[in-house]
A = this chain, B = another copy of it.
Amino acid sequence: MPMKKPAKESGRRGSATSSVVAGTDAPDASQMPIRGFSRSLPMALLRAREAVMRHFRVPLRAHGLTEQQWRILRALTSFESIEVTELARVAYLLGPSLSRILRDLEERRLIERRTLKADLRRGIVSITPKGLRLIEAVAPSSEAIYAEITRRYGADRLAELQDLLHALETSLADMPLPNGDSVADENDASL
């Protein structure tokens, strides 16, 4: 059940996240509300990612590409053709986002689609020559930025960071999600 909303007033929904952390900030000691906040891990990851991405956005946008479109085109250069589901996994996009982006990229003739004859549910995607030329046009700037980031941060630290990030993913891979048997919203009587 979708949980409507006239698109006018407020709205609910959501996703969510965030959290906590450890600490060295917070007012004093009366009762830290939750925890450091500015040291929350999701926030730290978000800030670090933005610090990196804001550099890549410039050349991408100059070529009319978003970050996600770039991820898809780049992934496609690694395969002669690839099924949509596999592409979603490789480019790390959710199905609905991928669907929309593929529609756009197809209209721009940067990719082509067909269906697997053996299973008409499955879509096969491949990059076009035009798409390849676009990739080649953007790649130099992209590589230069990556090189400068590596130079500034240090190749060693970068490798260590990548290791720690991957280890984090691995550590949480089999962590069960919470039950979610809680109240529905802030209008709950208990509030």
Contacts and interface: CB of A to CB of B under 8 A. Distances in A.
Contact of A61 (B15, B58, B79, B179): B15
Contacts of A67: 14-18, 42
A25 B90 contact: yes
A115 B14 CA distance: 6
A32 to B, nearest CB: 9
Contacts of A110: 186
A11 interface: yes
B14 A58 contact: no
Nearest to A31: B77
A108 B10 contact: yes
Given A80-B27, A141-B182, A165-B161, A56 B121 contact: no
A177 B24 CA distance: 26
Given A9-B107, A10-B103, A14-B124, 6 more contacts: A12-B64, A13-B66, A16-B83, A18-B60, A21-B82, A130-B186
